[in-house]
Amino acid sequence: MENPQSAIRNPQSAIRNPQSAIPNPQSPISRGVFQRIPRLWARISPRAIRRNLAAIRSRLPRETAIAAVVKSDGYGHGMELAARAAVAEGCVFLAVISVEEAATLRAMGFDCGVLVIGPIEPWQAPEAVALDLSVFAGNFEVAQALDAAAREQTTRARVHLKIDTGMGRFGFLDTPEEFGPALDRLLQLSHLELEGAATHFSVADEPGSEYTREQARRFRLILRMLEARGVRPRWIHAANSAAIVHFPDTAFSLVRTGLAMYGVYPGPQPEAALELEPAMTLGCRIADIRRVPAGFSVSYAGTFKTTRPSRLAVLPVGYGCGYPRHASGKAEAVIRGRRAPLAGRITMNITVADVTGIPETRAGDTALLFGREGSDLLRVEEVARAAGTIPYEVLCNVGRCTLRLLEED
């Protein structure tokens, strides 16, 4: 894409009320500044997203293009912001989960390729065609509806055949007995442009996974079946973020990257390290410092009791802001460059950190919950492990509930 900005008709700020005045943890903050600075924020870095995409591209063959996955509000980072960064980095598609999300991108002014990677219903076909979307077709009924809509609108519908090689969610089953007859029927639909063929790996985040290799083998058999019938889709894609890292031979002509573009590692970091920068930083101002005696009970159910006279920092963050409750007693915050364990149950809006070992901590200091703050780094992967979940869930939940601030580019 020679001029990526031309893909956006009416660029608008992706963040409604950006504020850059994030407190310095080493500096005292006056009462007046407190009034202008949020107590809790998720700071988003478009620069980090672009750098991550550039790092991903460096691992790909020259001829392989990128579809940037911006579904679910850009994994909590903001769909418009993430899409803008992806277009600037030359991604050929913005990938979303639904026609509704795709319509939102078009309304924002994005004229680039938009790929709907979730299942659509037949009644949505006319809108998908009118918006010039590329659509995963995983059954004949949807393909037929797209063909009929394209005929009505005197155009052709862009279709990516979704092949189920073992993910088990949706798509044409990859067996010759199932896919062969389906393909014969598809080729009778004259208003379809078979633009792509795709599958999705289910365990690519496990390096060396034999199941992933088997899925890739089965997908290649389908590609040979297509070629034997004279079908040569422009876009062949299977690799998600994890496969880009762990199975680079499955790059084909297009990859779909979601988690990695936001700076999060999809499974164990490879030996040939892919350097990813967190695009979201969750931080807050310490609301209060409490001095308590030994044997003091903290938060609901008294699951934590101090074993010595302690200093406790009150943090205005909790599961009501998307921070996972299941990380209680396991996660940490970074305060003044050092780790402080979270003490007791995480509640809806308040969490407590034990800062006894950081005696210089003061109210108004910054507490880093995850991401990067200056030289401090606490990866969201750590928080997810502490909560027994995955980074995707943490990012999406925080992004939905917390004020997002745009980092200056």
Spatial contact of 289 and 364, defined as CB atoms under 8 Å apart: no
Amino acid identity for residue 307 in this structure:
T
d(CA 83, CA 396) in angstroms, rounded, equals 16
Digit-coded pLDDT (tens) for 368-404: 999 999 999 999 999 999 999 999 999 999 998 888 8
Reference 235, options 367, 142, 324, 135; nearest CA is: 135
Spatial contact of 112 and 106, defined as CB atoms under 8 Å apart: no
Answer yes or no: is pLDDT of 329 > 80.
yes
Asked whether residue 21 is assigned to any structural domain, the reply reads no
Instruction: Give the total number of structural domains in the chain.
Output: 2
Asked whether residue 275 is assigned to any structural domain, the reply reads no
Domain extent at residue 318: 280-406
d(CA 387, CA 323) in angstroms, rounded, equals 9
> Which DSSP string do the residues of 130-144 spell out, in sequence order?
HTT-EEEE-SHHHHH
Asked whether residue 83 is assigned to any structural domain, the reply reads yes
Digit-coded pLDDT (tens) for 209-226: 999 999 999 999 999 999
Query: What pLDDT score was predicted for residue 99?
Result: 98
Stretch (H or E) spanning 57: helix 46-58
Digit-coded pLDDT (tens) for 1-55: 444 444 554 433 333 333 333 334 333 333 334 445 689 999 999 999 999 999 9
Q: Same domain, yes or no, for 121 and 194?
A: yes
Digit-coded pLDDT (tens) for 223-271: 999 999 999 999 999 999 999 999 999 999 999 999 999 999 988 876 5
Q: Same domain, yes or no, for 221 and 194?
A: yes
Identify the three-state secondary structure at position 346.
coil
Reference 94, options 86, 13, 242; nearest CA is: 86
Q: Same domain, yes or no, for 380 and 296?
A: yes
Residue 331 per-residue DSSP state: -
Whole-number average pLDDT of the chain: 91
Q: Same domain, yes or no, for 222 and 363?
A: no
93-96 and 65-69: which strand pairing?
parallel
Catalogue the active-site residues.
71, 300
d(CA 250, CA 292) in angstroms, rounded, equals 57
Digit-coded pLDDT (tens) for 56-66: 999 999 999 99
d(CA 189, CA 78) in angstroms, rounded, equals 37
Instruction: Determine what percent of the chain is predicted with pLDDT higher than 70.
Output: 89
> What's the CATH code of the domain at 197?
3.20.20.10
d(CA 114, CA 92) in angstroms, rounded, equals 8
Q: Same domain, yes or no, for 205 and 304?
A: no
Spatial contact of 327 and 387, defined as CB atoms under 8 Å apart: yes
Reference 98, options 76, 74, 71, 78; nearest CA is: 71
Asked whether residue 228 is assigned to any structural domain, the reply reads yes
* Tally of helices (H runs) and strands (E runs) in the chain: 12, 21
Q: Same domain, yes or no, for 198 and 286?
A: no
Give the residue carrying structure tokens 């519908």.
Answer: 157
